[in-house]
Amino acid sequence: MTITEAPETTAAPTSSKATKPSVLMCRPEYFTVSYRINPWMHPEDPTDTSLALKQWDVLYETYQNLGFDVQLIEGLPGLPDMVYAANGGFVVDGIAYGAKFHYPERGPEGPAYMDWFREHGFDVREPVETNEGEGDFLLVGDTILAASGFRSDTGSHQEIAAIYGREVVSLQLINPSYYHLDTALAVIDPTTIAYLPSAFDEPSLAILRERYPDAIIATEEDASILGLNSFSDGHNVVIAERASTFARDLADRGYNPIGVDLSELLLGGGGVKCCTLELRS
Q: Which residues participate in catalysis according to the annotation? A: 180, 274
What single DSSP character describes residue 79? Answer: -
Grouping H, G, I as helix, E, B as strand and the rest as coil, residue 118 is helix
Look at residues 237, 267, 280 and name the one whose alpha carbon lies nearest to residue 83. Answer: 267
Look at residues 145, 231, 215 and name the one whose alpha carbon lies nearest to residue 180. Answer: 145
Report the alpha-carbon distance of residue 204 to residue 1 in Å, rounded: 8
Report the alpha-carbon distance of residue 21 to residue 116 in Å, rounded: 18
Grouping H, G, I as helix, E, B as strand and the rest as coil, residue 238 is strand
Report the alpha-carbon distance of residue 81 to residue 107 in Å, rounded: 11
R_g of the chain computed on alpha carbons = 17
Angle (CA) 207 213 216, round 5°: 105
Report the alpha-carbon distance of residue 244 to residue 199 in Å, rounded: 20
Grouping H, G, I as helix, E, B as strand and the rest as coil, residue 11 is coil
Q: Is 4 exposed, middle or buried (0-12, 13-18, 19+ CB in 10 A)?
A: exposed
Cβ neighbours of 241 (radius 10 Å): 18
Report the alpha-carbon distance of residue 134 to residue 279 in Å, rounded: 11
